[in-house]
Amino acid sequence: MSAKISFDKYCGTGNDFIVLDNRTNSFDPKDSKLWQRLCDRRFGVGADGVLFFNTSEEYDFEMVYLNADGGEVGMCGNGARALTSFAKKIQFDKVEFTFKTRDGIYSSEVLKSGDIKLEMSRLDEVGAIDVSDIIPNENSFYMNTGVPHAVYFVNSVSEVPLEEWGSKVRYDERFTEGCNANFVQVIADGKLKVRTYERGVEGETLACGTGAVACAFAYRKLHKSVDVIDIEVPGGELQIIFENEKVYLCGKALKIFSGVFEL
């Protein structure tokens, strides 16, 4: 590997990523120590994870995603939106993309507003696992939206001891690969406020796309007539749209800067 790594830094509603153009297979996703180093916010670039833009024979590209701990994850909603924005800069004549992830095949679109609209293709049934006893809560749900999520409705997300409760869910023995924890406050009809503890980051992130989708699904279990749900996260706003039996995650994904990291 080269002694210098050229990268782009992207942000999806506060969820930040190191994006690597890996069409020539220059980077090895299995070099976890290197990616941990780059994601370190004091001694590296600083990010919630690393996105690899790989070629694909069947699709527009392949997405490989690593969390900040260097572990590969099947899907990341905000990461997929960030990589769609990156793909748009490479294939500037396209606005619609289909791409491969470890979790499956996804589709995305760059809207005229600049927002990225991502179709969520992995949506397991809500309630596959009972999580009400981890954090005692009657309004609690579990589902997999590409990665596993537990959702808890609370009166105020600002009063949640996120590190304590989040790690309790994340390391519960029933989850062999860990589980993300989301805490939801209903602000108004169709409007939620969410905080998320993410595995692999081992703490709170400013946004979690797959988590926002899980929260929207949980909310729909209580209010089935709502088709558009606005979600306020610490990093901004996301929108979940239920349309013709499909589910979309929408929001901004912006390039912050480009750089070179010297090993």
Could you give the residue numbers annotated as active site? 76, 208
SS3 labels along the chain: CCCEEEEEEEEECCEEEEEEECCCCCCCCCCHHHHHHHHCCCCCCCCCEEEEEECCCCCCEEEEEEECCCCEECCCHHHHHHHHHHHHHHCCCCCEEEEEECCEEEEEEECCCCCEEEECCCCCCCCCCCCCCCCCCCCEEEEECCCEEEEEECCCHHHCCHHHHHHHHHCCCCCCCCCEEEEEEEEECCEEEEEEEECCCCEEECCCHHHHHHHHHHHHHHCCCCCEEEEEECCEEEEEEEECCEEEEEECCEEEEEEEEEC
